[in-house]
Amino acid sequence: MPPILEVRDLRVEFPTRRGTLTALDGVSFDIAPGEVLGVVGESGAGKSMTGAAIIGLLEPPGRIAGGQILLSGKRIDNLPYEQMRRIRGREIGAIFQDPLTTLNPLYTVGRQLIETMQTHLPLSDKEARQRAIGWLEMVGIPAAAQRVDSYPHEFSGGMRQRVVISLALCAEPKLIVADEPTTALDVSIQAQIIALLKTLAREKRTAMMLVTHDMGVIAETADRVAVMYAGRIAEIGPVRSVVKSAKHPYSAGLMASIPPLDRKVDHLAGIEGSMPRLSAIPQGCAFNPRCAHVFARCRIERPELLETGSTRAACWLYDPASEKQAPEVMRHV
């Protein structure tokens, strides 16, 4: 089955007085119908930037400077603003971290759902209201027929986020971009929202891009995961493979920093250093200054994603040509 979303060599730049900063550099992935792709990484890795580029909401002066974004085989990254606005909501739904930035406090949640559906679907007022109640019931809002006329401030944080999910899904889009949808919620509500997103993706065959820094959310929700670092994908593959046996040194470091549940540890592993600023990304592999496995080639050439079994990792350790390097060049392979 062809993918719903295809991102090919996406490049996002920010022109500044001191030169052009590259925020995303050659990002490529796809998402199939009913699939959840998790996108994880440190703050500044480019996760949210990727989502913003896909839904056409890059903050100026940010711009897509290269690559392509295809939705159901049709290119959308070069569309005029009005045309892209019609696609948002109808074909692409968005869920953001803070529901209060999505919901209009002056309108009831029912009115917001009805207006969204009638903008994109040929529905009468009565049909739209019935569907609005149905969507609120589907996302777990109790007494939906009564709550449909409530205002956003009359809902708790978890219930508001459920309303935002129903708003993103009510026009039945092909793709959902969810940016940190559970960060502001307590753990029990997080679990309910995660289960809800998984169920809706499967039942509606909606492709979903789930942006988060929480590997627990990724492990519980996603089918595949893309680990981002300094505006590039460091590793991408099935969630179980990346969590259990990450191949890229950065992915492995992220997984090692998660506390195990089956034994007690005195201290958690960490990755020395910090992610480079956009104005100071090193030559070669961007991770090379922090990597315990660095060798000469890493400091000169930038690796593309290479096959590593069940995943693909942007690491020269998995290039057969690297095996011919003198062993003494490597530190801890």
Q: Which domain holds residue 186?
A: 5-229
Instruction: Kindly state whether residue 239 falls inside one of the protein's structural domains.
Output: yes
Residues 173 and 225 placed together within one structural domain of the fold? yes
Residues 114 and 250 placed together within one structural domain of the fold? no
Residues 240 and 144 placed together within one structural domain of the fold? no
pTM of the model: 0.91
Instruction: Kindly state whether residue 286 falls inside one of the protein's structural domains.
Output: yes
Distance of CA 136 to the CA centre of its chain: 24
The count of domains in the chain is 2
Residues 185 and 297 placed together within one structural domain of the fold? no
Instruction: Kindly state whether residue 276 falls inside one of the protein's structural domains.
Output: no
CB count, 10 Å around CB of 7?
Answer: 23
Residues 209 and 239 placed together within one structural domain of the fold? no
Domain with residue 209: its CATH number is 3.40.50.300
Residues 189 and 325 placed together within one structural domain of the fold? no
Find, among 276, 237, 273, 269, the residue nearest to 252 by Cα: 269
Q: What pLDDT, on a 0 to 100 scale, did the predictor assign at position 325?
A: 53
Find, among 289, 282, 287, the residue nearest to 315 by Cα: 287
DSSP-assigned states of every residue in 72-141 = TTEE-TT--HHHHHHHHHHTEEEE-S-HHHHS-TTS-HHHHHHHHHHHHS---HHHHHHHHHHHHHHTT-
Residues 178 and 204 placed together within one structural domain of the fold? yes
Residues 254 and 216 placed together within one structural domain of the fold? no
Instruction: Kindly state whether residue 21 falls inside one of the protein's structural domains.
Output: yes
Q: What pLDDT, on a 0 to 100 scale, did the predictor assign at position 323?
A: 60
Residues 180 and 236 placed together within one structural domain of the fold? no
Averages of pLDDT over runs of 10 residues in the chain (333 residues) are 96 94 97 96 93 94 97 96 90 87 93 94 96 92 96 92 91 93 78 83 91 86 96 97 95 85 77 91 96 94 95 95 50 38
Q: State whether residue 243 is helix, strand or coil.
A: helix
Residues 161 and 37 placed together within one structural domain of the fold? yes
Residues 224 and 236 placed together within one structural domain of the fold? no
CA 77 – CA 179 distance, rounded (Å): 19
CA 32 – CA 155 distance, rounded (Å): 34
Residues 98 and 194 placed together within one structural domain of the fold? yes
Instruction: Kindly state whether residue 273 falls inside one of the protein's structural domains.
Output: no
Residue at which a domain ends, from 205, 229, 253: 229
Instruction: Kindly state whether residue 127 falls inside one of the protein's structural domains.
Output: yes
